[in-house]
Amino acid sequence: MSLPIDGAQKTLRECVTLSGTGVHSGKPVTMIIGPADADTGILFSRTDMVGRNNFDIAAVRSAVASTRRCMVLGDPNGVYVSTVEHLLASLSALGVDNALIEIDGAEVPVMDGSAVAFVEAIDNAGLMVQSARRRFIKVVKPVRVKIDDAFAEFRPHEGAHNGRRLEIEIDYACGVIGRQMLAIDLTAHSFRRDIARARTFGHMKDVERLWEAGLALGSSLENTIVIGEDAIVNPEGLRWADEFVRHKVLDVIGDLALAGAPIIGLYRSYKGGHKLNAEALGMLLSRKDAFEMVTAPAAGARKRGLKALGDSRGKSRGEALPGILAPAFAPDVS
């Protein structure tokens, strides 16, 4: 199994089409996920808005428009795309650096509430190696944010596999979820095996309230684990006993993909969510002394792995990718 730390940038070999329903809008939507040039990053294009001045949205931290219920990217012209996190997680974990996602609506389809359909789509397209080297954000100093009793932090880490480690803990008052913790070294393999199939979840009382407010119109037992008074409502039950924290890890991977480059470091969070993830990432990227941009070594040096990444070549302290340091144009609303 190839590791995403592999040094060459990659894109999709061909286009794949995915159709489904937006979990919040309830509307049908079709996406075409296809190749993009090296150094493009992940770019959404709202094909239903062609004719407007700007209908492209880059998947970067500075494009975060809202973190309420899901990750929403957009620009001040009013062009948005929401619920991007499971797709971005799949692209990031499977090592896709550059992709163009043409979408004919405002919301990425929810599919079954997990990342399975996106992983399958990427596998169907296949990956293509590009000539440009991959760049990484290497955490060199701890960065921590706190919201009430929740916290998140980045720490330097060069452990097993590729140095992308997540330690995520959730603590819900409801007994069905309770306290769950998952620590994982993120690789394409661990993502496929342990994370990709974990579904979105919500409490029945919240779903009913959202429906009354005209929200979550596309949510159903087909794409959401629904938690009742003291049990799971879905007849098929859970895919893992701790599917909830696994889904939180999926969300973290998608949210952190907005860094625009893989992050070498440990990310820990307690009681986290999209808002906390976005704030922690924004804090890291604003702290130029807390990270270094490192460029993957050329193909001949690839076997040297992280040691090569840690040496002085290709390293520039605090130099960020274009567009990732600007603050979000709109405050988080949750």
Which residues are catalytic, by number?
274
Q: Across the chain, where does the E strand assignment appear?
A: 8-12, 16-21, 28-34, 42-46, 56-58, 64-66, 72-74, 80-82, 99-103, 127-133, 135-139, 143-147, 150-155, 164-171, 179-185, 201-203, 225-227, 263-270, 291-295, 315-317
Residue closer to Zn ion by CB (options 139, 259) is 259
Residue closer to Zn ion by CB (options 67, 200) is 200
> From the CB of 247, what's the least distance to Zn ion, in Å?
6
Residue closer to Zn ion by CB (options 102, 251) is 251
> From the CB of 83, what's the least distance to Zn ion, in Å?
8
Three-state DSSP class for residue 89: helix
Residue closer to Zn ion by CB (options 169, 251) is 251
Binding site for Zn ion (CB under 5 A): 200, 251
What is the pairing mode between strands 42-46 and 28-34?
Answer: unpaired
> From the CB of 198, what's the least distance to Zn ion, in Å?
8
> From the CB of 200, what's the least distance to Zn ion, in Å?
5
